[in-house]
Homo-oligomer: A and B are copies of this chain.
Amino acid sequence: MFFFKYPKEPAAMGSWTKPTCKCCISSAVQPLVTLELTENINMETKQWLMARIQEEKIVGGTELMVHPGEDDDGNMLLVSASHHVLLRAAEVLGLYKLYKDGSMISFSYRDRRNFQNSDNINEFLTLAERQFIILHTLENIKAVDEKYIPGYPTITLYPGEAIFNRLRKSKILHTFYPLHDEELLTELGNHWQSHRNLSLQPIDSIYRYFGGSVAMYFSFLEYFTCSLMPMAIFGIILVSLSMDTIDKCILFSCLNMIWSTVVMELWKRQSFVLAYTWGTMQMNSQFEEPRADYKGLMGTNPITHRYQPYYPAWKRKVKIWLVSVPILCLFLGFSLYGMFVFFRAEAWVKAYHSENDGCWACALYLPSVLHSLYVTSMNILYKMVAKMLTEWENHRLQTSFQNHLTIKVLVFRFVNCFAALFYISFYLQDLELLRKELASLLVLTQIINQLIETLVPYLHKTFIGKGAGLKKATMENAPDIDKIKLQGQMPPFPGMFDEYMELFVQFGYISLFSCIYPLTAMLIVVNNIMEIRVDGLKLCHLFRKPFNSPAANIGVWQTAFELIGFLSVITNCFLISMSPQVEEYCTENNITPKNVLIWTVGVEHALLAIKVILAFVIPDIPQWVKLRIDRVEYQSIQALKHKLAEADKGHSRETEEKGTWPDGITQSDSNESSLHMNNRQLNLL
């Protein structure tokens, strides 16, 4: 960890806004966020931006501390904040923190001394939270009376426009990223690697360092891998004893279907516990500040009474249903059409090849290659379109934006990944081909993925890393600003989408086709054990530190995994009913195909019902969490009553004389447990 030292005489440096309150006085300030401006930044613009960041809240500033990074190009700004600014912003953001009585309540600046650890800012607000607070504060700087960006008269501003958004769009602000804390990072890395067994990832340290969404992912990855182990062992036993008779297979599938429900329900409970202890669970999205790109007419929020942009929800719905959904369907159509063309082409090429045998053996692979090129380019194109559409839908909250983007891409990817398998299993009804395809997909994609994921870090370490290492050695005493610049040169963190997608596809292979290939779970467990290390390494050393986003759960992914669970009942039931063993059994026992199908449908419906009942019976929130939340809710209602009554007190004193209400009662205690009127006489019979 490095600090910018305060000079003895403030005037000597002058670039850090020195906090004036006693408790904020510290000889060094740790920079939290770096802004990278465009290279030939206009001095006027830079000064104006720094002024706007440092200005008092009352004139539209943020009161953050800003320091011009003393780099060669002079295009960097380092931002930090005093403890009090951080704490006040934490209240505005509605962060939940541990109160002295052990419950999580919405942080209150006035009452801060009663929150646990609030006297140590580094303990109280995690690094990720502090950086998120700064991000959020910066993104909420609004234009006040500027007509344009000083130094760039062509880039106009309207009153209330988010300045940072404008700067970013006009490329004046190149990028901005939170800074690594080397000390903490080393500690976290050691902690992560030292635990050889799976179940002891330092989730809490990850949360403190990287924030909610990253920690939630790693927690889910760990949970998912652990919960796969029984299935993996069971699968190995089945295969190694070569007990793949049909009844064993049915048993295995049924177990698998129940398992998938129980696993996802229990995960929901666990994620509630995590979110509760992190304080992200109760952050009511309605009270959240809108995201920076949110456009709308400025107005007073009817709930919080803050001055915020507003965009009607029905317009968003119209956009989603009339534009986004049809475009998604169009892309799905293209993708499916591509798949059919591929199957046709392959069949044709095979036929052609067997007729005129020997010529151009490599042409056999041409359809596959062309198809994968087509799928890849469609994937890239669609992701861009989805991003634009979601941006255009103008979601108010970052979480809702993220969820809508995820759904769009998820559905498309799911169809791309599984359409061929569904085609093989239910249209061609060729279970042998399905098994081969599944095995090759599992092994191939996993090997390729792992290779890419492990090789890239390795290559990075040996080649670029060596260079960096050399640099580091020479830079040990070099200006810290160069270290920061090095962080900026790393690629930005691409988000957790691909990681979740990988797990989602795995879950699909395990659940949807479990009866076909019982070894799936085992292969995936092996893959995931490596995955945990590789993802950790990537996150710590290969990418820029991402900004934390508070995550209460895994969002849309929970629903997606649950849907796969339901789909799996349907696929497994029909796959089993189509298997040659069942057919054999039926012809032996004179059962018509229609009756087999009736039985299949019956069993399928029963299993679906069991899944629904299970999901319903397992409570989503653990009892103790619910108890604590209810307690705070009850206290809040009581406090509201108290506050309203207090506010009315002055008024009541005035009107007392008019005699609407008797005096003695208004001032009596409102404590419900001792409702008693004063000196009432008992008139017994």
Interface of A toward B, CB cutoff 8 Å: 10, 14-23, 46-47, 50-51, 54-58, 63, 68, 84-85, 88-89, 91-92, 94, 99, 105-106, 108-114, 119, 284, 286-287, 302-304, 306-307, 313, 570, 593-594, 597-598, 601, 605, 623, 627, 630-637, 639-645, 648, 652, 655, 659-662, 664-666, 670, 672-677, 679-685
Contact = CB atoms under 8 A, between A and B. Distances in A.
B643 A639 contact: yes
Given A623-B313, A634-B303, A635-B640, A47 B84 contact: no
B635 A113 contact: no
Chain B CB count within 10 A is highest, among A84, A92, A677, for A677
A111 B652 CA distance: 9
Contacts of A632: 640
Contact of A47 (B16, B21, B302, B685): B685
A120 to B, nearest CB: 12
Given A63-B677, A303-B627, A106 B640 contact: yes
A560 to B, nearest CB: 14
A643 to B, nearest CB: 4
Nearest to A604: B601
A648 B601 contact: no
Contacts of A105: 640-641, 644
Contacts of A63: 675-677, 680
Contacts of A106: 637, 640-641
Given A630-B303, A677-B63, A683-B18, A644 B114 contact: yes
A570 B56 contact: no
A47 B627 contact: no
22 contacts: A16-B683, A19-B677, A23-B662, A51-B685, A57-B676, A84-B677, A105-B640, A106-B641, A109-B670, A112-B661, A113-B652, A113-B661, A114-B648, A284-B630, A302-B627, A632-B640, A633-B636, A635-B640, A636-B636, A636-B639, A639-B642, A639-B643
Nearest to A305: B673
B662 A110 contact: no
Contacts of A287: 630, 634, 637
Contact of A666 (B110, B643, B679): B110
Contact of A682 (B51, B681, B684): B51
B88 A672 contact: yes
Contact of A594 (B89, B114, B593, B680): B593
A95 to B, nearest CB: 12
B665 A21 contact: yes
Nearest to A18: B683
A398 to B, nearest CB: 18
Contacts of A56: 676-677, 680, 682
Given A106-B641, A637-B636, A641-B110, A91 B672 contact: yes
A20 B683 contact: no
A20 B597 contact: no
B676 A644 contact: no
A679 B110 contact: no
B23 A661 contact: yes
Nearest to A51: B684
A561 B251 CA distance: 34
The 7 closest A-B pairs by CB, nearest first: A108-B641, A636-B636, A110-B645, A111-B645, A639-B643, A639-B640, A639-B639
Chain B CB count within 10 A is highest, among A89, A597, A632, A675, for A675
B302 A673 contact: no
A114 B673 CA distance: 23
Contacts of A683: 10, 14-18, 54
Nearest to A644: B111
A306 B673 contact: yes
A388 B139 CA distance: 62
Contacts of A648: 110-111, 113-114
Contact of A670 (B108, B593, B630, B676): B108
Given A14-B683, A23-B661, A634-B303, A677 B641 contact: no
B54 A684 contact: yes
A86 B58 CA distance: 48
Contacts of A109: 670
A419 to B, nearest CB: 16
Contacts of A660: 23, 113, 119
A68 B91 CA distance: 58
A447 to B, nearest CB: 35
A342 B599 CA distance: 26
Contacts of A570: 605
A10 B681 CA distance: 12
A302 B102 CA distance: 13
Contacts of A597: 594, 597-598, 601
Contacts of A284: 630, 633-634
A302 B119 contact: no
A634 B645 CA distance: 17
A423 B672 CA distance: 58
Contact of A20 (B85, B303, B681): B681
A675 B92 contact: yes
Chain B CB count within 10 A is highest, among A22, A119, A639, A664, for A639
Nearest to A96: B637
Contacts of A598: 597
A648 B110 CA distance: 9
A286 B623 CA distance: 12
A635 B644 CA distance: 10
Contacts of A22: 659, 662
Contacts of A54: 682-684
A51 B51 CA distance: 75
Given A630-B286, A636-B637, A19 B674 contact: no
Contacts of A637: 94, 106, 287, 636
A10 B435 CA distance: 94
A164 B219 CA distance: 53
A682 B20 contact: no
A150 B633 CA distance: 42
Nearest to A114: B648
A117 to B, nearest CB: 13
A58 B631 CA distance: 26
A384 to B, nearest CB: 27
B50 A684 contact: yes
Given A47-B685, A84-B677, A113-B655, 13 more contacts: A21-B665, A22-B662, A57-B677, A108-B644, A110-B642, A111-B644, A113-B661, A114-B648, A286-B630, A302-B627, A304-B634, A593-B594, A601-B601
